Amino acid sequence: MNRDYVGKWIHVQSYKHDRTLHRTWDTAMVVEATDERIIIVSNCTKVIESDGRRWYTREPAVSVFFFHEWYNLVAMFKKNAIIYYCNIASPSLIDRDCIKYIDYDLDLKLMPDKNIIELDRKEYEYHRKKYAYSADLDIVVKHANEKCKVLMSEGLFPFDDEAMRKYYARFTEMKDQQENHLMNEKKD
């Protein structure tokens, strides 16, 4: 993974199994890039749905995209807590300035009280039939779902509040440095 991405602004695109665009997120800053993952931070970013509907996220968020795992997550910074939204999805890839992945619908939400909520099981079953997911893909997706539940219940990375706060702090520091640099360039 090219570490030159750190400090850059990048987009995110989510696709469905048939490769149709599902959803896009406007820019977020890369705060870490390794061979295993890329971590980005956004704050009230624009989201565009496949039907053209546009909306903005309500809070700052740290997102972790893995290159070899079948999930990604968004740690949403609410007023007094972090809520984790985990997408069961294909391993992510980077295409120029964009993170891309296929969304497989099975989602999990980890609440501050450590309650795990399963989401979109009916949507998964609908798309499994619609797109004729193979038996192997079905196994991989369900295994990733179970793996994420274990990571969540044990508070292991990436479902780690302290780690997510550090990434957000890194973002604010990097963003401040970029803004100060721009201000100094304007003065010159």
Return the closest-CA partner of residue 13 out of 117, 107, 103: 103
Whose structure tokens read 């957000």? Answer: 168
- Tell me the C-alpha distance between 92 and 68, whole Å: 8
Contact assessment for residue 101 and residue 16, using Cβ atoms and an 8 Å cutoff: no
- Tell me the C-alpha distance between 43 and 66, whole Å: 21
Containing 37, the helix (H) or strand (E) segment is: strand 37-43
Catalytic residue among 23, 53, 121, 128: 23
Backbone angles phi, psi at 48, to 5 degrees: -120, 125
Residue 97 is classified by DSSP as: T
Active site residue 23: yes
Return the closest-CA partner of residue 178 out of 12, 1, 6: 6
Return the closest-CA partner of residue 37 out of 13, 11, 73, 88: 73
Catalytic residue annotation: 23
